[in-house]
Amino acid sequence: MAVSDTQMIDAWKQVLTLSQLKAGDIVTLLTSDGTHPQTLRTALVALGQLGARANRLELPPVNGEKSLSRDPLAYLGSTPLSGNRAAIAALKESDLVLDLMTLLFSPEQLDILKSGTRILLAVEPPEILARLVPTEADRARVNRAAARLERAREMHVTSAAGTDLRCPLGDYPVIQEYGFVDQPGRWDHWPSGFVVTWANEGQAHGTVVLDRGDILLPQKCYVQTPVRLTVRDGYVTAIEGGLDADLLRDYMDAFDDPESYALSHVGWGLQKRARWSTLALYDREATIGMDARAFEGNFLWSTGPNNEAGGDRTAACHIDIPMRGCTVFLDGEAVVRDGRVVEQEADA
């Protein structure tokens, strides 16, 4: 069901207030062909009501001829900002950038953040944004989980389906996503609600078994039959199973890049209002699947790039895989057990 402009304006005002927006702040809205008109329209109204100075920077899409999908996360390569000095300068001069087009994993985005500019990504449909408006409680919960993850030196993930994956930790920072940008140089994504980090380079090893109902993104599909992935020295070295395995292998092979198979971030979902089942209710081109990434208790892992965390791997292929029913141990202590966040990490 659609939401009204009034609801979206109120949602924007809550997110912008949480993002420390002040009257007189300069805000640039980054848009492209795929920007949702209601999201843009209501953001401009909310910014005006809060006294901000809003600019809109419209940039053309790129990589369409290379990508196998219309999903903006299906090919992570150059962006409309690549080599665009004027656009980058304008964004650096902004207090806040509202990314309504998707710049993920780009060196230009990292460069802009270093200037102190805050960037908030918001590309889900308005009804998803309105349902998953972030709160201070979301931030507090993610912060607690992040503090525990920062202390850990090993993540061990198991499942009844056969997953047994070990990820030595400590070389990369912990990334917190709670849906707003309240500090200089911060990037976040509305909606979200999870913590992730990266395994020490070349050290993750074990087996991941995708079971029925686990999710592949950007495919935006539920796994129907088990897929067994072998991880050695930080890379997926084998993908075994039926049709789902064949489809996944063919997609990754299409990039012709061994770094596509590198283990990327690992973490877990913490958003109580996100739903595992929502992906089944949307057309594939209508959502990028943030409910799937954030729903409470999922084990979220991925393949491909690590440059978001300061690494030098910029693989164009990035697959997010939220899994149900897993147990996640940090240094032997469960933070997720059988797909449920344990009480010490959850709100009472």
pLDDT in tens, 249-269: 999 999 999 999 999 999 999
Q: What is the mean pLDDT of residues 315-332?
A: 97
pLDDT band, very low/low/confident/very high, at 103 (cuts 50, 70, 90): confident
Q: Is 268 left (phi over 0), alpha (psi -120 to 50) or beta?
A: beta
User: Residue 194 forms beta bridges with which residues?
Assistant: 177, 269
Which one-letter amino acid corresponds to residue 334?
A
pLDDT of residue 14: 98
pLDDT in tens, 152-188: 999 999 999 999 999 999 999 999 999 999 999 999 9
Q: Are 301 and 271 in contact (CB under 8 A)?
A: no
pLDDT in tens, 192-217: 999 999 999 999 999 999 999 999 99
The answer to whether residue 23 scores a pLDDT higher than 70 is yes
Q: What is the mean pLDDT of residues 28-47?
A: 96
Q: Tell me where in the chain the CATH 3.40.1830.10 domain(s) lie.
A: 5-131
Residue with the two structure tokens 């997110």:
15
The answer to whether residue 97 scores a pLDDT higher than 80 is yes
Tokens in use for 136?
A: 């201070």
pLDDT of residue 346: 46
Q: What is the mean pLDDT of residues 110-121?
A: 96
Q: Are 252 and 303 in contact (CB under 8 A)?
A: yes
Tokens in use for 104?
A: 């993920």
pLDDT band, very low/low/confident/very high, at 66 (cuts 50, 70, 90): confident
For residue 120, what are the CA distances in angstroms to 182, 245, 268?
Answer: 10, 34, 21
pLDDT of residue 63: 77
Question: Rounded to a whole number, what is the distance in angstroms from the first to the last CA of the chain?
Answer: 32
The answer to whether residue 71 scores a pLDDT higher than 90 is no
pLDDT of residue 344: 66
Per DSSP, helices labelled H in the chain are 5-18, 37-49, 85-92, 107-114, 126-131, 136-151, 243-253, 290-294
Q: What is the mean pLDDT of residues 48-69?
A: 90
For residue 294, what are the CA distances in angstroms to 95, 123, 191, 263?
Answer: 27, 15, 8, 19
**Cβ partners under 8 Å of residue 83, min gap 6:** none
For residue 89, what are the CA distances in angstroms to 59, 92, 116?
Answer: 14, 5, 13
pLDDT band, very low/low/confident/very high, at 68 (cuts 50, 70, 90): confident
Nearest to 87 by CA among 99, 75, 77, 76: 99
- CATH architecture for residues 5-131: 3-Layer(aba) Sandwich (3.40)
Exposure class string for 22-38: b at 16+ Cβ within 10 A, else e: eeebebbbbbbeebbeb
Would you say the pTM of this structure is higher than 0.85? Answer: yes
pLDDT of residue 184: 98
Q: Are 244 and 253 in contact (CB under 8 A)?
A: no
Tokens in use for 185?
A: 């140089």
pLDDT of residue 348: 43
Tell me the pLDDT of the chain averaged across its residues. 95
User: Residue 56 forms beta bridges with which residues?
Assistant: 29
Percent of the chain at pLDDT exceeding 90: 84
Percent of the chain at pLDDT exceeding 70: 99
Q: Are 97 and 91 in contact (CB under 8 A)?
A: yes
pLDDT of residue 177: 98
Tokens in use for 188?
A: 């976040």
* 90/80: higher pLDDT: 90
pLDDT in tens, 81-92: 888 999 999 999
Q: Are 123 and 100 in contact (CB under 8 A)?
A: yes
pLDDT of residue 67: 82
The answer to whether residue 102 scores a pLDDT higher than 70 is yes
